[in-house]
Amino acid sequence: MNNVFMANVFVAVVLRDLRLAWRRRIDALLPVAFFVVAASLFPIGVGPEAQMLARIASGVVWVCALFAAMLSLGSMYAGDHADGTLEQMLLSPEPAWSVALAKALAHWLVTGLPLVAVTPLLCLLFGVPADALGMVTLTLLLGTPILSLLGGLGAALTLGLRSGAVLLILLILPLCIPALIFGTGAVAAVDAGQSAGGHLSLLGALLIFSVLGAPPATAAALRIATE
């Protein structure tokens, strides 16, 4: 019975955040718009040389996705904290880590999944070969949930603080660098004709570690912020 109740609450939190994002569609689309515009400017800045564009594509896409995901992290808990909803969630019988995991999943569905969806179009703009294009998309599919999970932790740690957005960036960027390294490393391995299995395994292990470790840490930070 407790497991069923926890699952119902988890789904309710996810659906609630999705409904709120739908009501604020313009705000929800800002990260995707930033991602597309920022990545599209690189071919103009570095020139039209096809080999150079294909070589830097994975790094550009990953860095732009990282910063695009951060645009909406500040509001992950701010609204619920301001109207008292967050305190009610933490006072409910279900564990707080399930609420943190649900919020991270909703953030990924609203922000991370659209970034993955538009990635193939941006790769075509850079002239990325088909095999590397698929690898870039796959690494982002594994990496963007990590950004949402770690971003939720940073949002909880900076909740209610002045200059919280700046502190959030300073906290999250170092934590996300391993995902950036493994993601771009997998694409570089494919370009070199080597196996990308090692990089993908490390990226997958980082995702599992984030799923297991980030929600409890986020829950603890949220309890401290609401006390």
**pLDDT 10s digits, 147-192:** 999 998 988 888 877 766 778 888 888 888 999 999 999 988 888 8
Neighbours of 20 (CB within 10 A): 16
pLDDT level of residue 51 (50, 70, 90 thresholds): confident
Cα(199)–Cα(184) distance, integer angstroms: 9
Which range of 35-49, 87-101, 182-196 scores highest in mean pLDDT? It is 182-196
> Mean pLDDT, to the nearest integer, of 93-102?
86
**What is the per-residue pLDDT for 143?**
92
**What is the per-residue pLDDT for 195?**
86
Residue 26: both structure tokens together = 């313009």
Residue 83 burial (C-beta neighbours within 10 Å; 0-12, 13-18, 19+): exposed
Q: Name every residue whose Cβ is closer than 8 Å to that of residue 121 and which is 6 or more positions away in sequence.
A: none
Domain that holds residue 30: 2-226
pLDDT tens column, 55-90: 888 888 999 998 888 888 877 888 777 777 788 887
Q: Kindly state the percentage of the chain with pLDDT values over 70.
A: 96
**What is the per-residue pLDDT for 106?**
92
Number of domains in the chain: 1
Residue 46, pLDDT above cutoff 80: no
Lowest mean pLDDT among 3-12, 139-148, 170-179: 3-12
Residue 7, pLDDT above cutoff 70: no
**What is the per-residue pLDDT for 104?**
92
Report the number of secondary-structure helices (H) and strands (E) in the chain: 10, 0
Cα(62)–Cα(167) distance, integer angstroms: 21
Residue 63: both structure tokens together = 């860095």
As a whole number of Å, the CA-based R_g of the chain is: 18
**What is the per-residue pLDDT for 78?**
80
**What is the per-residue pLDDT for 1?**
45
Cα(220)–Cα(197) distance, integer angstroms: 35
**What is the per-residue pLDDT for 162?**
72
Cα(181)–Cα(74) distance, integer angstroms: 24
**What is the per-residue pLDDT for 57?**
85
Angstrom CA distances, 26 to 32, 33, 123, stand at 10, 10, 25
Residue 32: both structure tokens together = 């995707």
pTM above 0.85, yes or no: yes
* 185 neighbors 177 (Cβ within 8 angstroms): no
**What is the per-residue pLDDT for 164?**
66
Angstrom CA distances, 105 to 10, 87, 183, stand at 10, 20, 20
Torsion of CA 216, 218, 220, 225, to 10 degrees: -170
